[in-house]
């Protein structure tokens, strides 16, 4: 892929506006990765670039619903692995739908977007508290100057402006804030 950034813009996977991120910070930039999933052929192609950077020394790919499910599925498929996903129920991660973590089972954690790494840390804790082992972490996008994880593999890094709501110029000028992400699946 010559210019992933311009592809993301062209496909409206990268949006400009006034957004409240999962971290609670406000930003003028949002990634709508669903627009990448809209074209499975293109998505397969970009995931294969990410897969080339990954070590296959793990048992299963794991993600958090909703955003991580599609990349986790595609990466697991391309690497010949199983996959599972966690869900956020009343703010806490849970494993449902018959998915399970076995003792000493090892995992590649997959996310769509990593910003502060908060969700990834929660997934790490969930795996370790369930007796599993974290072997790696991969994300389509890193939206930070530097990765919060030493071993994070990603396709595209973009440093964007993220501010506390109290310091947000867009809030001060009365621009409505949108919360475009979906953090939970309904049972
Ligand atoms: Zn704001």
pLDDT at 183: 52
What's 147's domain CATH number? 3.40.50.2020
Q: What's the CA-to-centroid distance between 21 and ligand 1, angstroms?
A: 10
151 domain-assigned: yes
1-33 exposure pattern, b = at least 16 Cβ within 10 A, e = fewer: eeebeebbeeeebbbeebbbbeeebbbbbbbbb
Could you give the residue ranges of the DSSP H alpha helices within 53-168?
69-79, 118-129
104 domain-assigned: yes
**What Cα–Cα distance (Å) separates residue 72 from each residue in 29, 52, 138, 141, 178?**
24, 15, 9, 13, 26
Q: What's the CA-to-centroid distance between 10 and ligand 1, angstroms?
A: 25
Q: What's the CA-to-centroid distance between 166 and ligand 1, angstroms?
A: 8
**pTM strictly above 0.95:** no
185 domain-assigned: no
How many Cα atoms occupy the beta-carbon half-sphere of 119 within 13 Å?
29
The domain containing residue 66 runs over which residues? 4-172
pLDDT at 63: 98
Instruction: Provide block-wise average pLDDT over 10 residues at a time, the chain (187 residues).
Output: 83 90 87 91 96 97 96 98 97 96 98 92 98 98 90 92 93 91 53
pLDDT at 143: 87
Q: What's the CA-to-centroid distance between 85 and ligand 1, angstroms?
A: 31
184 domain-assigned: no
Q: What's the CA-to-centroid distance between 90 and ligand 1, angstroms?
A: 25
CA angle, 31 as apex, 26 and 34 as ends, to 5°?
Answer: 135
Q: What's the CA-to-centroid distance between 65 and ligand 1, angstroms?
A: 25
72 domain-assigned: yes
Q: What's the CA-to-centroid distance between 12 and ligand 1, angstroms?
A: 21
Task: Find where tokens 């129920």 sit.
Answer: 89
51 domain-assigned: yes
66 domain-assigned: yes
Q: What's the CA-to-centroid distance between 30 and ligand 1, angstroms?
A: 13
Q: What's the CA-to-centroid distance between 156 and ligand 1, angstroms?
A: 25
Counting the structural domains of the chain, the total is 1
pLDDT at 2: 53
Q: What's the CA-to-centroid distance between 125 and ligand 1, angstroms?
A: 31
86 domain-assigned: yes
Q: What's the CA-to-centroid distance between 162 and ligand 1, angstroms?
A: 9
């Amino acid at each position: 892929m010559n210019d992933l950034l311009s592809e993301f813009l062209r496909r409206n996977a990268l949006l400009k506006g006034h957004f409240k991120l999962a971290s609670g910070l406000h930003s003028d930039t949002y990634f709508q990765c669903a627009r990448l999933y809209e074209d499975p052929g293109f998505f397969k192609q970009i995931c294969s670039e990410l897969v080339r950077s990954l070590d296959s020394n793990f048992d299963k790919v794991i993600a958090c619903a909703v955003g991580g499910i599609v990349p986790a599925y595609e990466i697991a498929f391309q690497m010949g692995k199983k996959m599972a996903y966690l869900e956020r129920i009343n703010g806490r991660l849970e494993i449902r739908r018959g998915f399970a973590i076995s003792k000493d089972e090892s995992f590649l954690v997959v996310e769509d977007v990593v910003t502060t790494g908060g969700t990834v840390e929660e997934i790490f804790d969930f795996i370790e508290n369930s007796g599993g082992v974290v072997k790696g972490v991969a994300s389509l996008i890193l939206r930070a100057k530097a990765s919060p994880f030493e071993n994070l593999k990603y396709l595209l890094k973009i440093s964007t402006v993220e501010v506390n709501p109290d310091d947000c110029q867009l809030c001060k000028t009365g621009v409505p804030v949108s919360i475009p992400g979906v953090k939970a699946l309904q049972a």
